[in-house]
Structure 1
Amino acid sequence: MATFNLTLSDPSTFILNGIPGLEAAHIWISIPFSMFYIISLLGNFMVLFVVSKQQTLHKPMFLLLCMLALTDIGMSTCVVPKALSIFWFCSKVITVDGCLTQMFFLYVFAVTHSAVLVIMAFDRYIAICDPLRYATILSNARIAKLGLVGLMRAVICVLPVPLLLWRLPLCANHVIPHTYCEHLAVVKISCGDTTVNRMYGLVITFVNIGLDLTLIGLSYGLIIRAILRISSKKSHGKALNTCTAHICVMLMSYTPYLFTALTHRFGQDIAAHVHILLANMYVLVPPMLNPIIYGVKTKELRDKVGKYTCRM
């Protein structure tokens, strides 16, 4: 079987097949894809615009919302435009460079997104458990530094993924049964030894997501302990209400991500189109719903968005 190496001089390309088994329905599937993407862009850019314009919103919590909005825009933009070009124009060809670049940025945004959720959990912990020192512990500058650390962690962890793929010989069949360049989907069309690639991808998933979920769980464990020490039931509800939006966003983000990561490795009995649809929902639904959830649950943001909306 013919093979070729991924080198800078090699003009070889991949074929992204879209959603296998549902090719006839691609044009219909594109309708919710495009709607979700447009709503996501409008919602997240609105958050960025309102926070940047309102001096009263220049606080750590709203800076974190801006970071979340940027990662949401980045994740969906890495995937949806190419997916729509497949659905609308059958533009299935992607260069090797383009494939690895898409993969790199998608995973950098995803890992950074997870880091922002950890910082948000820490923010809620300080706000509830040590409110008098909140402004001292979490200044805007410190939040920005934590966000930068999260971004640097993502780049360092993700960079080896495309570099390890670069060395692999690929089979004559360059067809990727997906709407975007997912790591294991590319690994599966290789004729070489992919043990290192598979192990690295698994380790990075469990180390990053496992560590982040552990830190979030620890934060909420301390929050619950602090809430249980409060005698007033009204105070219980008020304290928990400040965490509702973050919990919803966290569940929407981690559940499809973990399901997709695990089924790609261990869920051979799951239909390919089901797996790929769920993988796309991860980059479509959370970015669309996150600004809506925070807009509804955060009074200051809701009021300012309403103010600008009424002016239009």
Structure 2
Amino acid sequence: MNATSLPATADTRRDAADLRADRAFRWLVSAAGVLVLVSLISAALSMLWGGRQAFSRFGLEFFWRDAWNPVLQDFGALVPIYGTLVTALIAMVIAVPISFGIAMFLTEIAPKWLRTPVGAAIELLAGIPSIIYGMWGLFVLVPFLAEHVYPWVDDNLGGIPGIGAVFSGPPLGLGMGTAGLVLAIMVIPFISSVMREVFLTVPGQLKESAYALGSTKTEVVWDVVLPYTRSAVIGGIFLGLGRALGETMAVTFVLGNAHRLTVSLLEPGNSIAATIANEFAEADSPMYLSSLIALGFVLFMVTFVVLTIARLMLRQLKKREGN
């Protein structure tokens, strides 16, 4: 009887230990998940509390006022919000098709001996600090655009009825167009890396079946690869958009930091992150400092809204796909 009870007791102890370990692991990972939510909410509330003076004085008008006068203590977030959205939009218009082309080249077209060095180059570009992109943009890209590109844009596109105002202005090199271009170069490695990894998950049997039916490489890409990876591709695009919305140093170098509302992509503008980076050390009054912190809260909300829209889009796509 004793010999029979000993293994049973050992098994019982082992089961109890496994149960305690599983319970501890569950609490540990749950705490990690809760920590993310607590950090997110704490950051938002701290910025909201820091900007309470600005919101108390200007109210909701703070979001659409274009004034920014530290001397008169008159502040508004419209110009930085506009500059942030415009530069991010320019970046995505440029970056998404290029990233798609890079990912398709690496997964479908490039020979095997070329895929590794090109993939490593993309990863190296993703690891370059943003301030390096900003310095390169200021000392290399800005003079090139001011001398060779923007004069042609102003002369040939600035007079087109309806859209001429967007492409007209002094060829300074600094401006929202340049900032959007630098942002595009920054987010291309991120988006293309995500797309490449996603495209590699497509089962080879699907593509081989399409080729066997006589499909061309273009048809395989558009009719097989993209439908299979649509949700993940959109997620990668919005990941790059989130990076573009919050970028600071690269934009600060090339945006021009002029607090005025203009539709021209050739003229200097401003963004939320650039405004905070440039003026935080100069905030010599509580209202000035509160307005800058309020801008941080606005950037938080803009990013949150954009990513929420991305999640809703992905959910709708999954419903259409039957997932």
Q: Structure with the greater relative contact order (CA < 8 A, sep ≥ 6): 1 or 2?
A: 1
Structure number with bigger Rg: 2
TM-score bracket, shorter-length normalisation: under 0.3
Q: Please, what TM-score do these two structures have when normalized by structure 1?
A: 0.27
